[in-house]
């Protein structure tokens, strides 16, 4: 979210126009052949909604837990919190026991580790401890941006039944790409820490300018939700650790899809980490993973189209759960046949 604030303090003459050509839309993966991501309301009709979205949670809690079914962990992006998933929760909770957690070093989440690197691997270690405390061995995991990278690290540790990464961080085409990205975050931090600029951000024009980088439909994000997002930015203890590591931060290591099914869904209008600069290198790191495009949404698409995001996740988790149930049933039939033979 900090990256968006750079737009408010960098002179217009220094900005490059952001269009689909620059963002690498021509190089993006296609939509699934089923057409389920076309935005067609008929295609999305099988996504059940449980309850209503009443507004951004006022209480600062470290996680949200609800729903029933196989366990699903949701991981947010850098400087955000579990509340980023709020619009999607009613759709996912109808099918899963959902555990949306605020990651270590973020406002309301666990404290950072006392020593060692504070990257996606360390965040994944903290989530593993949370799973242990909850008595969960393996879970479905969905993550956005930094949360997507952390989800992939959970797969590497054998804790994921499936992973859906939504515009996940973790790879870049050149060192210049990650240095530029972190510089924009630094500029954004300076802006959001300024009382006068923060007041500008809360005006309709300022709010749209900030949110336009992460959402294709910024008008769908209420002012009170944005106020909570700004508080999340200001309360993120991970910021100085991550922003001070541009010379040492390393991309993710290659990941074998034998760990679990992996779907990478890139936002078509991602203006934070474009597919050309950050997504294509990930294709080389996750050989055999499924790469698709989420149409007409921005980097944080949960407000743009919550039903589309939910279906993108549920298509994977349902397939894995059905396969697991089929395997258990086949095993029981085989066992029964062995007992009869005996």
Total domains present in the chain: 1
| Cα–Cα distance, 152 to 75 (Å, whole number) | 11
Per-residue tokens: 61: 């809690």
CA separation, residue 91 to residues 40, 247, 295, 300, 340 (Å) = 17, 40, 19, 17, 44
Per-block average pLDDT, block size 10, for the chain (342 residues)? Answer: 44 31 55 46 52 60 92 96 94 96 93 76 94 94 97 97 98 92 82 83 87 92 88 89 74 93 97 95 94 96 96 97 78 49 46
- Does a structural domain hold residue 330? no
- Does a structural domain hold residue 13? no
At residue 300, φ and ψ (nearest 5 deg) are -110, 90
Give the pLDDT of residue 187.
80
**Structural domain span for residue 317:** 20-175+253-323
CA separation, residue 124 to residues 203, 240, 282, 311 (Å) = 37, 19, 19, 25
- Does a structural domain hold residue 102? yes
Clarify whether 76 is annotated catalytic: no
Pick the closest to residue 319 from 311, 309, 330, 329 (CA basis).
Answer: 311
| Cα–Cα distance, 308 to 89 (Å, whole number) | 12
- Supply the CATH number for residue 39's domain: 3.40.50.1820
- Does a structural domain hold residue 96? yes
C-beta neighbour count of 14 within 10 angstroms: 6
Of the candidates 270, 274, 304, 321, the residue annotated as catalytic is 270
Clarify whether 137 is annotated catalytic: no
| Cα–Cα distance, 21 to 3 (Å, whole number) | 20
- Does a structural domain hold residue 299? yes
Strand order of the sheet with strand 262-267?
Answer: 63-66, 96-101, 70-75, 139-144, 160-166, 262-267, 290-294
Give the pLDDT of residue 201.
84
- Does a structural domain hold residue 342? no
Sequence-separated (6 or more) residues with CB below 8 Å from residue 93: 50, 51, 66, 67, 68
- Does a structural domain hold residue 228? no
C-beta neighbour count of 7 within 10 angstroms: 19
Clarify whether 299 is annotated catalytic: yes
- Does a structural domain hold residue 35? yes
Of the candidates 259, 299, 304, 321, the residue annotated as catalytic is 299
166, 267 contact by CB (below 8 A): yes
Pick the closest to residue 162 from 95, 261, 257 (CA basis).
Answer: 261
Q: How many CA atoms lie within 13 A of 187 on its CB side?
A: 16
Of the candidates 70, 81, 93, 145, the residue annotated as catalytic is 145
pTM of the full structure: 0.83
Give the pLDDT of residue 56.
58
């Amino acid at each position: 979210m900090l990256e968006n604030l750079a737009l408010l303090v960098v002179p217009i003459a220094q900005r490059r126009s952001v269009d689909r050509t620059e963002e690498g839309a021509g190089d993006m993966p296609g939509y699934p052949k089923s057409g389920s991501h076309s935005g067609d309301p008929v295609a999305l009709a099988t996504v059940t909604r449980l309850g209503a979205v009443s507004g951004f949670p006022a209480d600062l809690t470290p996680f949200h837990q609800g729903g029933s079914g196989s366990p699903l962990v949701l991981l947010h992006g850098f400087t955000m919190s579990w509340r980023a998933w709020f619009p999607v929760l009613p759709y996912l909770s109808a099918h899963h026991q959902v555990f949306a957690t605020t990651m270590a070093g973020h406002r309301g989440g666990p404290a950072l580790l006392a020593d060692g690197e504070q990257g996606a691997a360390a965040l994944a270690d903290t989530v593993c401890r949370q799973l242990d405390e909850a008595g969960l061995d393996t879970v479905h995991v969905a993550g956005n941006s930094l949360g997507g990278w952390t989800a992939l690290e959970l797969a590497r540790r054998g804790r994921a039944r499936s992973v859906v990464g939504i515009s996940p961080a973790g790879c870049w085409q050149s060192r210049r790409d990650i240095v530029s990205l972190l510089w924009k975050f630094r500029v954004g931090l300076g802006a959001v820490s300024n009382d006068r600029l923060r007041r500008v951000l809360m005006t309709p024009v300022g709010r749209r300018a900030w949110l336009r980088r992460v959402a294709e439909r910024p008008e769908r994000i209420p002012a009170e939700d944005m106020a909570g997002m700004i508080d999340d930015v200001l309360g993120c203890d991970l910021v100085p650790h991550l922003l001070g590591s541009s010379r040492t931060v390393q991309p993710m290591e290659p990941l074998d899809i034998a760990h679990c099914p992996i779907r990478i869904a890139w936002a078509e209008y991602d203006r934070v980490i474009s597919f050309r600069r950050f997504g294509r290198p990930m294709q080389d790191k996750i050989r055999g993973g499924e790469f698709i495009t989420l149409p007409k949404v921005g980097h944080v698409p949960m407000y743009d189209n919550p039903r589309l995001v939910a279906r993108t996740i549920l298509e994977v988790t349902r397939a894995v759960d059905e396969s697991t149930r089929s395997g258990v049933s086949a095993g029981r039939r085989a066992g029964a046949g062995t007992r009869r033979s005996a």
